[in-house]
Amino acid sequence: MGARSALPPKLYFPYAQFMVYDRDVRNPSCAWTDQHSAQGFARCESAVNFGTSPEFRYAEVTVSRTPYQPSEEYERVISVPFLVTSGKAVVEGPEETDVERSVTLAPGNYRLATTQRVIGEEKAGHRLVLFCLWQGL
The CATH code of the domain that includes 95 is 2.60.34.30
CA distance 87 to 75: 30
Q: Tell me the whole-structure pTM to 2 decimals.
A: 0.85
> For position 90, what pLDDT does the model report?
93
What is the total count of domains within the chain? 1
Residues above pLDDT 70, as percent of the chain: 84
Q: Which stretch of DSSP H or E encloses residue 39?
A: helix 34-39
- Residue numbers of the domain that contains 118: 4-136
Q: Are 44 and 82 in contact (CB under 8 A)?
A: no
Nearest CA to 100 out of 108, 110, 112, 88 is that of: 88
Nearest CA to 115 out of 56, 66, 43 is that of: 66
Residues above pLDDT 90, as percent of the chain: 37
